[in-house]
A and B are shown apart, each in its own frame.
Chain A
Amino acid sequence: MSPHAQEEDPTNAYQSLSETTEHDDPRWAFGSGFEDVQAEIEAPVPDGVDAADLAEYCLMLGDDALVCSHRISEWVSNAPELEEEVALANTALDLLGQARVLLSRAAQVEGAGRDEDALAYLRGEAEFRNVGLAELGDDLDFGVAVARLLVFSTWRLALLSRLRDSRDPVVAAVAAKGVKELTYHRDWAARWALRLGDGTDESHRRMQAGLETVWPHVDELFRTSDVERRLVDAGVATDPAATRDEVDAVLDQVFAAATLTRPTLPGRGPLGGRAGRQGAHTEALGHVLDRLQSLARAHPGASW
C-alpha cells in the first residue's frame, strides 16, 4: 500500500515517523541510506599522493569523529539539564556529519566498493583508526565527559585549523567547516570546566577527577604515525606533534581560570609500537561498536 493511501491520523505517532512522499526512497533502519551525498567526494586523489595513505588518513580523522560522537550521544536522555542534553546532542551531530564525509572520502579513494555505511557498521575493532581518547567511556560522569570533550575539541580544532590548507579538497572542506563547529564545542567544554572547577568543593573534585581519567590518553594525540608523516610531506596531512604547544596553551588557560591542576599522570604507551592509529584499541572500543553496529549486523540493508 502506498503511504499516500493512509488517512491522516493525528493520534497515530508512528504515522509521522514513516511519512514519505511519492518520490521518496524507503527510509533506512540505520545509516544514511543514500549515496553521492557530497559532490567533492569524487575529486581525484591529488598528484603525488598515495591513495591508500589518503584513505587511511580519512579513516583516522573520520573514526575520531564517529567514535567520539557515539560516546557523546550516550548522554542523550541522561544529561543533567535539557539545555546541556541539546548541546551534547548537537555536538555529537556535528562530529557525525564530519565523520560521514571523511568516511565517504575514504571509501571513494579506497575504491573497493564500500561506502560510508559499510565502513561505519561493518568494520571490526582492529580496522578502526581512532585515538584512544575518542573511545574512552565516561560511565555518565559529567566531569569525565567535559574533560574528554575539552581535550578532544581543543586538539581537533588545532588539527582542523591547519588542515584548511590541505591539498585534498575533501579534507580541506571538512576542516574549514569543522573549525567553526569545533570552536563552539571547545567553548562549551571550557565553560563547563570553568564552572565546575571554580565552583563548589565537590564540583572541583569531580572536574579534576575527570581530567585525571582522560589524561593517560593525551600523549597519544601528539604521536605522529607513518601515514601522517608521509602525508605531511605530500601536503595533505598536518603533523599532530606540531599542535602540542597550541593545545597545551589553551588547556593551561582553562586550568588557570578554573583553578584546576594539570595532571601529571604518564601517558599510555603504545603496545608493541601500535596504538589507535594502527588499530590497537582499548576494550572500550568493543563496547562502542557493539552498540553502534549490532542493528546493522543483525539486519543487513534493513529499511522501513
Chain B
Amino acid sequence: MVTAREVVARVVDPEMPMLTLDDLGVVRDVTTEGDAVTVTITPTYSGCPAVEEMRTDLADALRAAGFGPVRVRTVFAPAWSTDWISEAGRRKLAAAGVAPPGSAPRPSAGPVPLTLTVPTSVVTCPNCGSRATEELSRFGPTACTALRRCTACREPFEHMKEI
C-alpha cells in the first residue's frame, strides 16, 4: 500500500522536472483522513506561475493512486528559502547543468542594505567545474534562476539564486 506521502514525494516540479517538489522543499505538509488528502505547499516566489500546475499535478497523482478528495492548500509563511532544497536536489540540479544555490542571506530585522559593487560570490560552472564564472543577468528563464557564463569553457548556464 502506497501512502499519500509517498505519492506526493514522486511528483516533479513543472518547471524543473529534474527535481521533485520534495527536493525543492515546497511541500510543507501532507495529512490524510481516510482517503481524503490535504497537501500544503508554499510557492518559491509570490508570483510563481507554476503553482497552479503543481496543484493539478499533485491532485492528479493522488487521485490516480486511489486517493480523494484531494485538497491542495498554499501557505506563504514561513517564506520559502533555497536553503530548503535537499542535498539530493542540489546534486540533481548540478547534474542537469543548473548551478545549485549557496546559502541564502539571513534576512536582517532592520533596513536591507544596497550593495552596488560587483558581487563576489563564487559560483562553480556545472559543466567544467571552473570557478571563473560571471553573471549575465540576475533574472533567468524561471523566477528562481539567474543566468551566468563560464569564462573557462564559455558555456552559459543557469544558477539557482539564493533567497
A interface residue numbers (CB < 8 A to B): 21-24, 32, 34, 36-40, 83-84, 86-87, 89-91, 93-98, 100-101, 157-158, 161, 169-170, 172-174, 176-181, 183-184, 186-188, 190-191, 194, 246, 250, 253-254, 257
Contacts and interface: CB of A to CB of B under 8 A. Distances in A.
A251 B161 CA distance: 25
B56 interface: yes
Nearest to B40: A39
B153 interface: no
Contact of B47 (A93, A173, A184, A250): A93
Given A157-B112, A188-B138, A177 B40 contact: no
Interface of B: 40, 43, 45-49, 51-52, 55-56, 59-60, 63, 73-80, 107, 110-112, 114-116, 136-141, 143, 147, 161, 163
Contact of B46 (A21, A32, A172, A174): A174
Interface hub of B110, B114, B137, B163 (most chain A Cβ within 10 A): B114
Given A23-B59, A93-B143, A181 B77 contact: no
Given A40-B76, A101-B46, A174-B46, A187 B137 contact: no
B77 A250 contact: no
A178 B40 CA distance: 20
Contact of B143 (A94, A172, A254): A94
A186 B115 CA distance: 10
30 contacts: A21-B60, A24-B56, A36-B73, A37-B51, A38-B74, A40-B77, A83-B137, A87-B138, A89-B139, A93-B45, A93-B49, A94-B47, A94-B143, A95-B47, A97-B46, A158-B111, A170-B76, A177-B45, A177-B46, A179-B112, A180-B79, A181-B46, A183-B112, A184-B138, A184-B139, A194-B116, A253-B114, A253-B116, A254-B114, A257-B116
A168 to B, nearest CB: 12
A83 B111 contact: no
A101 B79 CA distance: 14
Given A86-B140, A176-B107, A187-B114, 19 more contacts: A23-B56, A37-B51, A40-B76, A83-B147, A95-B46, A97-B43, A97-B47, A98-B46, A161-B110, A161-B111, A161-B112, A173-B77, A173-B79, A176-B79, A180-B107, A181-B46, A183-B112, A184-B161, A188-B138
B114 A90 contact: no
Contacts of B137: 83-84, 86-87
Nearest to B46: A97
Given A40-B75, A95-B47, A173-B79, A180 B163 contact: yes
Given A83-B139, A194-B116, A97 B60 contact: no
